Amino acid sequence: MADTIQSILKKFRQNNQSFLIPILQSVQEKEGFISKAATERISEHLRLSKSHIYGVASFYSQFKFNPPGRHSIKMCLGTACHVQGGDFLLHALEAEIGIIPGETSEDGKFDLDRVACLGCCALAPVLMIDNTIHSRMSVIKLKETLETYD
């Protein structure tokens, strides 16, 4: 792990706060979440306190602080998705995999998050699993869609 963080930090100048968000984004991309250990390393690199870093990271909805599941589900809760039944879909999804947004399932298979809008409003409601967007979803198609992932 230490080497991954090191290779990321190498790309950014030290002591410059404007690199904080790009660093956090790179760390999350490589490791899936922002760990305490990573925060410590970033803190040394930028000379910002750990609490300061957590303050910035937790302000933005992109950053996670728990290890993700094998598959990440992002439920779109944009207005178009809401009007087309996105809320019902999230409700059924929570019951189906037994977790609420922000959590990872016990078997480590799925983690669930809501996003404000994926920008596929014309195909609402949509949800994204890993990098695939499932368009025109419905509560009826939910089970069969989830079964295609292992």
Partner 1 sequence: MTEFKAIQKKALQEWLSLQNSPYPIIYVGMGSCGIASGAGEVWEQVHKTIKKENIKAQVHKVGCIGPCYLEPFLDIQKPGLPRMSFNNVDVQRTGKLVSEFTNGTGSKHKPLGHLGPQGKQINGTRSFWDQPMLKNQVRIVLRNCGIINPENINHYIARDGFKGLLKALNHGPEVVIAEIKKSGLRGRGGAGFPTGLKWQLCRKAKGNPKYLICNADEGDPGAFMNRSLMEGDPFALLEGMLIAAFAIGADHGYIYIRAEYPLAIERLKIAIQQMNDLELLGDNILDSGFSFDIRLKEGAGAFVCGEETALIASIEGKRGMPRSRPPFPVTSGLNGNPTNINNVETLATVPAILREGADWFSGIGTEKSKGTKTFALVGKIRRTGLIEVPMGTTLRKIIFDIGGGPLKPFKAVQTGGPSGGCLSEKFLDLPVDYDSLSQAGSIMGSGGLIIMDENTCMVDVAKYFLRFTSNESCGKCVPCRIGTSRILEILEKITAGKAEVKDLEILEKLAKSVKNGSLCGLGQTAPNPVLTTLKYFKDEFLEHIENNRCPAAVCRDLVEYRVIADKCTGCQKCVSVCPTGAITGPRSEPHFLDLEKCIKCRACYEICRFDAIAGDAIEIV
Exactly one of 5, 8, 9, 20 binds partner 1 (CB under 8 A); that residue is: 20
By the rule CB under 8 A, 142 interacts with partner 1: yes
Is 127 a residue that touches partner 1 (CB under 8 A)?
A: no
Query: Rounded to the nearest whole angstrom, what is the least distance from the CB of residue 75 to partner 1 in the complex?
Result: 12
Is the sign of the CA dihedral 81, 85, 87, 90 positive or negative?
Answer: negative
Residue-wise over 83-105: b if at least 16 C-beta within 10 A, else e? ebbbeebbebbeeebebebebbb
Per the CB < 8 A criterion, the answer to whether 128 and 80 are in contact is no
Applying CB under 8 A, the residues found at the interface with partner 1 are: 16-22, 24-25, 55-56, 59-63, 77-85, 87-89, 91-92, 95-96, 115-124, 126, 131, 133-135, 138-140, 142-143
